[in-house]
Homo-oligomer: A and B are copies of this chain.
Amino acid sequence: MDRQERNAQFMRALMDLRSLVLEGEFVPGDRLPETTLAERLGLSRTPLRQAMDRLVDEGLLERNETGGVRVSRFSMDDIRDAIELRGVLEGTAARLAAERGIRPGLAEEMAQVLDGLDRATEGELDFKAYVPLNDRFHDLLARLAGSSVIAREVERMGRLPAASPGAFMQGQELIPDFRASLRRAQWQHRAIFDAIRNREGARAEALAREHARLARTNLEYVTSQDPSLAERVPGLSLVGE
C-alpha cells in the first residue's frame, strides 16, 4: 500500500475502474461519461479523471475526438505484441544484469525466490505459493540490472493489457499438463539466473525472451482450445473482431 490516506479517492477510482473494465463490465467501444461514472463509483470527477488519464496511458481506455474516453478494443495481435515487448524488455534487463554484474544482496534474494519456486513446483503443485513468487521473480529481474530507468519500463510493460507475467495464471489450473508447464517455466527461471551469474548476456537475453513466449502459448491455447477459459483471463473480454 503506497499511502493509505493521502490519495485515497484517486487510488480507489483507479483500482475500481480498472477492475470493472478488466472484468468485462463494459463492451469495447462503450463511452464512459465522467459524471455518471463518478456517481457510480461514489467519488467526484477530479480523482476519476486522474484515473482515466492513467488507464488511457496503460492502453485500457482510449480518448475519442471530443475528449471523452471509451473502452479499448484489442486484437489478438495487440496482446501478442505486448507479450513480445515484455519479453524484449525483460531480455534487456537480463542481458544488462549479466553484462554489468549484480549486487550480492539481489543475488541472494533471487536465490531464495528460486528455491521457493522449486518447492512450489516439485511434488504436489502449490499454486497459491507459486503465483506471488513468480511475481517476485519478475519484479527482481526488472531491478537486477541496477537501473531505475530499466526497472521502470520493464514494470510498465507488465501493465499492458494481458501482458503481465501472471496474466494467464487465473484459469490455468484447468489446463491439462499445467504442472508440467510450470516446471518448464521454473526451469527457465533457473536458466536465466544462471546465465546472468555467468555473465552470459546473449544467453540471458534469449532465455528471457523465450520465457515470455510461454504467455503467448497460453494465449493461443486459451483462445483456440478452450475459449470458455478466456473469461477468466483479465482483459481478454476486450478482444474484439
List chain A positions with a Cβ less than 8 A from chain B: 6-7, 50, 53, 57, 59, 66-67, 77-78, 81-82, 84-85, 88-89, 92, 96, 145, 147-150, 152-153, 157, 160
Contact = CB atoms under 8 A, between A and B. Distances in A.
B67 A7 contact: yes
Contacts of A92: 84-85, 88
A96 B78 contact: no
Contacts of A82: 149
A226 B179 CA distance: 59
Given A57-B57, A88-B89, A88-B92, A81 B150 contact: yes
A78 B149 contact: yes
A82 B77 CA distance: 27
Nearest to A157: B153
A208 to B, nearest CB: 12
A85 B153 contact: yes
A149 B153 contact: no
A59 B152 contact: yes
A207 B112 CA distance: 38
A143 to B, nearest CB: 13
24 contacts: A6-B66, A6-B67, A7-B67, A50-B53, A53-B53, A57-B57, A59-B149, A59-B152, A78-B147, A78-B148, A78-B149, A81-B96, A81-B145, A81-B147, A81-B150, A82-B149, A85-B89, A85-B92, A85-B149, A85-B150, A85-B153, A88-B88, A88-B89, A149-B160
